[in-house]
């Protein structure tokens, strides 16, 4: 198993179930990838501002007007389970 | 008769040589004979295409002259087209029918285009070979044993094999340019913000960009004219003037300075690709361009930076696939959480899971500063490299890929090796620049090689003009694969 990864914990955070062979394989591959990524530590980035985006973005406001983009049936038509105009999901608690 | 380019087809339609419906039939025949071997499409939009072609014929008869009237195009299957499935080549979206058009799709349709079908890709555009598709791997039309590149491998192969006259792809780390290069076609990744991402299924939102894939640079300019420009539905689409890119073509390139990044010509590049690149530089010099050496000193950190940031954004973007509102849902779940984790286990393929795990890790408590924040800082250094280089030159000339098209399955078991093959394309997305692949030669084995032209922010005009001038002097882009 990986020295660095708690793969079970990460998978749980990602709401992703992994089987045993995937856990083993991913932990091994991600060890390699993270070892590669660790080369960024060679770089001194003190004083460098992080660049989250290439464009000078700022919030864009618009009037909050009601408009119908497409009918309700279009939203619901793709849902795996639906009932009386609502999305249906399995039991939430318990 | 199959036209070679969009420009030719426009003439043919305008002069009444054929109708839009006849042109559609010609393309369909070509698809009928080549698609079994290439497998570029996930699905064809049969009835929709016929209706669009009939409508185009009526508009032509009415004397209208929209830029793409009756032109048959293909769209990568991570870009929504109303009424057609948009699968992202993923099981989790296998049955998803888009309830709206992406802005890029809507603009193509308004310009009169006929949409032939949706093309194959690596699942959610994650990959460099189009092998990570839930449905099928696409083959390289130049050698069916080899990959077409990725992730827009379906679009590249369809253009190359003459199964559409042009296509849309998307490019997050090279996904337009590398497959264009592998399949011997032209592919442009516009400046980040040039083309609206509304209706493009998000992979890494700060890097994704839609762009044209065509046989010629002139056709790419034509498509960019149509799909480019500010869109109120995408707040990251830039409010900058949209020039007529077709008019930029044909300007003199004499005296333009081409920067050659020394870090892109070190060990690791296939000698045949290096030879083709040197030849390309010589051709551009003959056309009057000046060669200057530039340095992009942080190149070696680009792949690491990219995989931190792209996976972090992906893990966040892909959290929406939960089996509730659309797409696939796993059966027999005990409760909601169980349904989420099973749906995602069964719905996502291996590479997507790997990236979700890596992205979740770099964002997780205790690692955020060490990886995600560090990555954003190195990203700033990479962009600064380009800012410095563009003080010395007007366009950068570089390879797209250090390697020629490889065999299917050759790199599938070694994700890190696959990631490293994106070394020349990835920095451009991190810096948000426009860049284009143009065919520039062949290996001795007859596989296409592409050169990459990189421009300043929002200076697609120079990139397109230099590429067009190069194509006036060369014929690599006119060669057809022996299908």
Kindly identify which residue of chain B lies nearest to residue A92, measuring between CA atoms. B336
Which architecture characterizes domain B6-258+392-478 according to CATH? Alpha-Beta Complex (3.90)
Confidence class for position A67, pLDDT limits 50, 70, 90: confident
Tokens linked to B24: 């559609």
How high is the pLDDT of residue A94?
65
> Residue range A38-50: average pLDDT?
95
Calculate how close chain B gets to A92, using CA atoms only, in Å: 5
Burial of B75 (0-12, 13-18, 19+ CB in 10 A): buried
Neighbours of A88 (CB within 10 A): 11
- Residue A66 Cα distances to A62, A63, A69, B373, angstroms: 12, 9, 10, 38
Nearest chain B residue to A37, by CA:
B304
From first CA to last CA, the distance across chain A in angstroms is: 32
| Mean pLDDT in residue range A74-92 | 90
In contact, B70 and B109? CB cutoff 8 Å? no
- Give chain B positions within 8 Å (CB) of A30: 354, 357-358, 361
Q: Does B367 lie at the interface with A, CB-CB under 8 angstroms?
A: no
Assessment of whether the complete model's pTM goes beyond 0.90: yes
Show which of residues 14-33 on chain A sit within 8 Å of chain B, judged by CB atoms.
Answer: 14-19, 22, 26, 29-30, 32-33
Domain extent listing, chain B? 6-258+392-478
Burial classification of residue A67, based on how many CB atoms lie within 10 Å of its CB (0-12 exposed, 13-18 middle, 19 or more buried): exposed
- Tell me which chain B residues have a C-beta less than 8 angstroms from the C-beta of A52: 206, 376
Q: Closest partner residue to A92 among B100, B336, B356, by Cβ?
A: B336
Q: Does B95 touch chain A (CB under 8 A)?
A: yes
At A1 the pLDDT is 45
pLDDT band at A76 (very low <50, low <70, confident <90, very high): confident
Residues of chain B with pLDDT under 70: none
Q: What angle do CA A17, A18, A19 make, to 5 degrees?
A: 125
Tens-digit pLDDT profile for residues A9-31 = 999 999 999 999 999 999 999 99
Q: Which residues of A touch B303 (CB under 8 A)?
A: 36
Active-site annotation of B, residues: 76, 151, 175
Query: Residue B369 carries which DSSP code?
Result: I
Q: Please determine, for residue A69, whether its predicted confidence score (pLDDT) is greater than 80.
A: no
Angle at A26 between CA B365 and CA A31, to 5 degrees: 65
Q: Which residue in B has a C-alpha nearest to residue A18's C-alpha?
A: B345
Instruction: For chain B, count helices (H), then strands (E).
Output: 16, 11
Dig out the tokens for B462 from the structure.
């120079």
* B229, B19 contact by CB (below 8 A): no
ipTM of the complex: 0.93
Q: What is the pLDDT of residue B218?
A: 98
Angstroms from A45 CA to nearest CA on chain B? 6
| Alpha-carbon gap, residue B160 to B133, rounded angstroms | 20
Summarize pLDDT for B379-418 with one digit per residue, the tens: 999 999 999 999 999 999 999 999 999 999 999 888 888 8
Residue B150, SS3 per DSSP: coil
CB pairs under 8 A between A and B: 162
- A32, A53, A62 member nearest B416 (Cβ): A32
Write down the pLDDT at residue B406: 97
Sign of the torsion formed by the C-alpha atoms of B459, B460, B463 and B465: negative
List of chain B residues whose C-beta atoms are within 8 Å of the C-beta of residue A69:
100
Q: Give the start-to-end residue ranges of the domains of chain A.
A: 7-41
Q: Would you tell me which residues 21-50 of chain B have a C-beta closer than 8 angstroms to some C-beta of chain A?
A: none
Q: Which two tokens stand for residue B376?
A: 């954003």
Confidence bin at A2 (pLDDT 50/70/90): low
Chain B touched by A1 (CB under 8 Å) = no
Kindly write down the DSSP assignment for every residue of B63-111, as one continuous string.
Answer: T---TTTT-EEEEETTB--TTSB--TT-GGGTT-B-SS--HHHHHHHHT
Q: Which residues does B387 contact at the CB level (< 8 Å), separation at least 6?
A: none
Res. A40: pLDDT tops 80: yes
């Amino acid at each position: 198993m990986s020295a660095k990864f708690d793969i079970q914990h990460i998978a749980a955070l990602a709401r992703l179930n992994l089987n045993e062979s995937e856990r083993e394989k991913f932990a091994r591959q991600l060890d390699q990838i993270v070892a590669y990524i660790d080369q960024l530590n060679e770089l001194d980035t003190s004083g460098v501002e992080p660049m989250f985006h290439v464009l000078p973005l700022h919030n864009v406001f618009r009037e909050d007007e009601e408009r119908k983009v497409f009918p309700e049936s279009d939203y619901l038509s793709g849902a795996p389970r639906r009932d009386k105009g609502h999305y249906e999901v399995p039991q939430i608690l318990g | 008769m199959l036209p070679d380019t969009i420009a030719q087809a426009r003439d043919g339609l305008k002069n009444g040589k054929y109708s839009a419906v006849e042109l559609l039939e010609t393309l369909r025949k070509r698809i009928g004979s080549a698609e079994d071997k290439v497998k570029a499409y996930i699905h064809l939009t049969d009835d929709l295409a016929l209706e669009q072609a009939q409508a185009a014929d009526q508009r032509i008869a009415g004397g209208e002259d929209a830029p793409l009237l009756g032109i048959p195009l293909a769209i990568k299957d991570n870009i929504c087209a109303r009424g057609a499935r948009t699968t992202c080549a993923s099981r989790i979206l296998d049955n998803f029918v888009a309830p709206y058009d992406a802005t890029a799709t809507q603009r193509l349709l308004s310009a009169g285009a006929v949409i032939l079908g949706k093309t194959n890709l690596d699942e959610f555009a994650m990959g460099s070979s189009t092998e990570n598709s839930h449905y099928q791997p696409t083959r390289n039309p130049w050698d069916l044993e080899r990959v077409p590149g990725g992730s827009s491998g379906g679009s590249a192969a369809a253009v190359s094999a003459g199964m559409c006259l042009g296509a849309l792809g998307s490019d997050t780390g090279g996904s337009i340019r590398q497959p264009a290069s592998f399949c011997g076609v032209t592919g442009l990744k516009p400046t980040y913000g040039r083309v609206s991402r509304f209706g493009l299924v998000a992979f890494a939102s700060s890097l994704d960009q839609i762009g044209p894939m065509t046989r010629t640079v002139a056709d790419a300019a034509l498509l960019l004219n149509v799909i480019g420009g500010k869109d109120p539905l995408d707040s990251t689409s830039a409010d900058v003037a949209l020039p007529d890119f077709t008019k930029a073509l044909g300007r003199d390139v004499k005296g333009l300075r081409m920067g050659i990044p020394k870090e892109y010509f070190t060990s690791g590049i296939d000698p045949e690709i290096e030879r083709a690149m040197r030849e390309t530089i010589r051709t551009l010099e003959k056309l009057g361009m000046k060669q200057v050496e530039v340095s992009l000193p942080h190149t070696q950190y680009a792949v690491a930076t990219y995989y931190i940031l792209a996976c972090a954004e992906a893990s966040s973007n892909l959290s929406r696939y939960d089996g509730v509102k659309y797409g696939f849902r796993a059966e027999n779940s005990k409760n909601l959480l169980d349904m989420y984790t099973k749906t995602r286990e069964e719905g996502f393929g291996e590479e997507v899971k790997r990236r979700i795990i890596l992205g979740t890790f770099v964002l997780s408590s205790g690692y955020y500063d060490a990886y995600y924040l560090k990555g954003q800082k190195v990203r700033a250094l990479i962009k600064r490299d380009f800012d410095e280089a563009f003080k010395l030159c007007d366009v950068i000339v570089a390879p797209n890929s250090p390697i020629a098209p490889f065999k299917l399955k050759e790199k599938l078991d070694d994700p890190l090796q696959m990631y490293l093959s994106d070394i020349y394309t990835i920095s451009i997305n991190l810096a948000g620049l426009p860049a284009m692949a143009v065919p520039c030669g062949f290996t001795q084995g007859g596989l296409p090689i592409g050169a990459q032209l990189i421009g300043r922010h929002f200076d697609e005009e120079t990139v397109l003009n230099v590429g067009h001038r190069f194509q006036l002097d060369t014929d690599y882009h006119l060669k057809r694969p022996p299908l």
